[in-house]
Amino acid sequence: MKTETLNFFDKVYQVARLIPYGKVTSYGAIATYLGAAKSARMVGYAMNGSGSKDVPAHRVVNRKGLLTGKHYFDGTNLMQQLLESEGVEVVENQIKNLERVFWDPSKEL
C-alpha cells in the first residue's frame, strides 16, 4: 500500500533532515527538488506534522528568508533562537545574509 501524497510529505521530512548545521533553505527549493515546484505550499503544509518528526523546521523558511512558521513553534522567538544558535543572523523574523546561509538541495545534492 502506498500513497503518493504521503510519499511527498515523507520526502519533505527527509530533505529537511539533510539540511546542514547553520544553513537554511526555502519551501520552493525543497518542492523543486522533489519535482513539485508548484507545490511549495504543500512543503509548509507538510511541516505541520514535523512537530512529531525529527525535522529541523526552523531551518526552513520562505524564499525571502522570512521565518513565516515561527508562530507554529511556540508562538515566541524559539525558531529565531535556534537559528541564531547555529550562527544564522536573524532580525525581525528575517534571516540576514540569506545568500550566505542558503542551502539548495537541488544543487548541493
**11 contributes a contact to DNA by CB under 7 A:** no
> Residue 87 Cβ, how far from DNA at the closest point, in Å?
19
The binder of DNA chosen from 8, 11, 33, 80 (CB under 7 A): 8
Give whichever of 39 and 95 is closer to DNA, judged by the CB atom. 39
**78 contributes a contact to DNA by CB under 7 A:** no
**7 contributes a contact to DNA by CB under 7 A:** no
C-alpha 39/C-alpha 46 separation (Å) is: 11
User: Coil, helix or strand for 66?
Assistant: strand
Q: Alpha carbon of 12 to those of 68, 81, 85, 87, 92: distances in Å? A: 17, 23, 23, 24, 26
Q: Name which of 66, 65, 47 is nearest 56 in CA terms.
A: 47
The site for DNA (CB under 7 A) is made up of 4-6, 8, 26-29, 36, 38-45, 47-48, 50-51, 57-58, 60, 62-64, 68-69, 71-73
